Amino acid sequence: MDDFISEIKKRRTFAIISHPDAGKTTLTEKFLLYGGAINQAGSVKGKATAKHAVSDWMEIEKERGISVTSSVLQFNYGGYCINILDTPGHQDFSEDTYRTLMAADSAVMVIDGSKGVEAQTRKLFKVCVMRHIPIFTFINKMDREAMDTFELLDDIEKELGIATCPINWPIGSGKAFRGVYDRNTRELEIFSGTKKGTAVGEVQKAPIDSERAREIVTEEQYEHLEEEIELLDGASAEFDQELVDKGELSPVFFGSALTNFGVETFLRHFLQMTAPPLPRMSDKGEIDPMAEKEFSAFVFKIQANMNKAHRDRIAFMRICSGEFDAGMDVFHIQGGKKVRLSQPQQLMASERKMVEKAYGGDIIGVFDPGIFSIGDTLTNSSERFAYEGIPTFAPEHFARVRQVDTMKRKQFIKGINQIAQEGAIQIFQEFNTGMEEIIVGVVGVLQFDVLKYRLKNEYNVEIHMENLPYEHIRWIENEEIDMDKLTGTSDMKKIKDLKDRPLLLFVHSWSIRMVLDRNPGLLLSEFGRS
C-alpha cells in the first residue's frame, strides 16, 4: 500500500497552453530533453531523422505548423513522473483545450515576451481560469526584444483577472539579455548562448551584491535592475501557495525555450509548487486518489486513425484513483457492462509504448472498439459512480456538408461520425429528413479545414461545404413540444442531433427571445446533454 501511495505522490499532470508561435512546442521538447526522453530537440530519441516537433503528429499539424489535437507525453525528472498534456494553440480549438484541462491538475501558460496576451487567445486562457486550477506563467523568447516587464505582468492581470507573482526577473531582453535575477536567493542566473537543440551547460550564478554580478552586467543594467527590484518588492503580490492552488495567483518565470535558458529553473520550481493528483468530483462525492484504492478513470479525448496502418481509435483516459494493470477488466458505467482495457499505451506523440502499470494521475490510451464517449467513467469500485460530465460547447459556425462522389456515401458517414465522436465537430440533420442532409457545427472555423483534410486523407472522401448564416444554437429542453406546431421566425431552422433531440438554429440572437415569446412554456438551453 505504501508503494501505491508513493507512486501517486510522484505524479504531476499538467497541460501546456499558449497562443500560436509563443514557443509551447519548443518548451515541451526542452522538458523532455531534461527528462532524457529525447536526446535532440525536434526528434524522438533514436529517430534522428524526424524533423517535426515531437508533440505534433497529425499531418495537417506538420503542414501548418499548428497543433490541432492534444498530445500526451510522459517523462521522469528529479524523482517525479510527469504527464504533459499538450493542447492546441489556436482559439478555434478552445473546446479541445477545455476537455484536456479537465484531465490536468495544473496548467502552464506560455506567453511571447514581445507580444503579451494576444487578443485572439484571451478565450483560450480564460478557459483555463474557468477551471480554477493552478496556472504557472512562462514568459518566453526573452532572447528577443520584449515588452516592458511590468507592462507584461499588467497585461496578464488585466486580461485574465489573475494576480501575478514573479519568481525571477529578467535582466534586459534581445541582444542585451543577460539572464534572470532570482528573487528568493537574491542571485543572478547568467545567460550564455547554448547550442540550439542541446541540453544547457552550467548556469553561472552570482549574488546580486557581488563583484562578479557587476562584471557580468553593464552599469546601466545593474542600476536599472536595482530600481526594478525595489519597485517590484513594493508593488507585486507576495507568493502565497494557497492562492496559487486556487488558481488566483500565477507564479511568473522568464526565459528562452529555444536557447534552454530558464527552463530547468522553471521546471524545478513548478514541481515544488504543484500538488500530486487531486481529488475529483463524482456523483457520490469527491474521490481522493490517496484514499480510494479501487481503479477509476474518465475518458476526456477520443482520437481516430492515430496510426494509418491500423485504422484504430484510441480513448484517452485520466486515471483518478487506484492502480491500472494491462488487460484488466473494469465496469463501464455509461455502457452498463464490464469491458477489458486492451492495448493500453502511453505516447511520445505518434510513438507508442505499451503500458503494464499506471497510477492515479497518469494518462493512458486504450483501444476503443467504438463503445466509449467523452466523459465516460470506468471503475472497479463495488459502489458504482460516475465522474462529473464534460460540458459541450455550443457551436458558433455551421455548414451543410455532402460528399462529392455519391458512391462513397458509406465512407463519408463513417468518417464524419468518427470525427464527431472525437468532439471536434458536432453533427446535425434537417428536422424531417434522414442522413441525406448533414449540417456540421464547429466552435472555430479552422475545424472545417481539419474536417475536410481528414475526410480526404483518412477516409478518401472529398466533400463540398456550403456555409450557413446561423450563429446561435439552442437545445429544446421540454421534449413534449410539438415541433410541427412551433411558431418560429424567418431566420430560424429546425434541426435534430444524432440522438434525435430537436434543436433550433438562429441567425440573430434577438430571434431567440421572439421564439420564446411566441411559444409560451418553451424551454431552450445553450448546452447539449451528453
Arithmetic mean of pLDDT over the chain: 81
**Mean pLDDT in residue range 70-92:** 75
* Residue with grid cell 458536432, as numbered in its chain: 426
pLDDT in tens, 267-312: 999 999 999 998 999 998 889 998 888 999 999 888 766 555 556 7
Please give the pLDDT value at position 525: 83
In three-state secondary structure terms, 450 is helix
Average pLDDT score over residue span 413-434: 81
Distance CA 207, CA 200 (A): 21
In the chain, CATH 3.30.70.3280 sits at 397-525
Which among 277, 274, 257 has a CA at the least distance from the CA of 135?
A: 274
Answer yes or no: is pLDDT of 79 > 80: yes
Q: Which residues contact 254 (CB under 8 A, 6 or more apart)?
A: 113, 138, 139, 142, 149, 166, 168, 169, 170, 180, 262
Quick one: fold of 397-525?
A: Alpha-Beta Plaits (3.30.70)
Distance CA 381, CA 332 (A): 11
Task: Please enumerate in sequence order all residues whose Cβ is within 8 A of that of 112, keeping only pairs 6 or more positions apart, or say none.
Answer: 19, 21, 22, 23, 118, 140, 141
Domain with CATH 2.40.30.10 in the chain: 280-379
Q: What average pLDDT does this structure show over 507-524?
A: 91
Q: Which CATH superfamily is domain 280-379 in?
A: Translation factors (2.40.30.10)
For residue 194, the model assigns a pLDDT of 52
pLDDT tens-place string over residues 149-181: 999 999 999 888 889 999 999 998 888 888 899
Report d(CA 336, CA 333) in Å as an integer.
5
513: confidence class by pLDDT, cuts 50, 70, 90: very high
Give the pLDDT band (50/70/90) at residue 191: confident
Percent of the chain predicted with pLDDT > 90: 26
For 325-336, the pLDDT digits (tens) are 888 899 999 888
> Looking at domain 14-58+106-273, what is its CATH homologous superfamily?
P-loop containing nucleotide triphosphate hydrolases (3.40.50.300)
Q: What is the mean pLDDT of residues 426-451?
A: 80
Domain with CATH 3.40.50.300 in the chain: 14-58+106-273
Q: Any residues with CB less than 8 A from the CB of 358 and at least 6 apart, and which?
A: 319, 323, 324, 344, 346, 364
Query: Span 184-212, mean pLDDT?
Result: 73
pLDDT at residue 166, rounded to an integer: 95
- Which of 207-216, 286-295, 308-317, 353-362 is least confident? 308-317
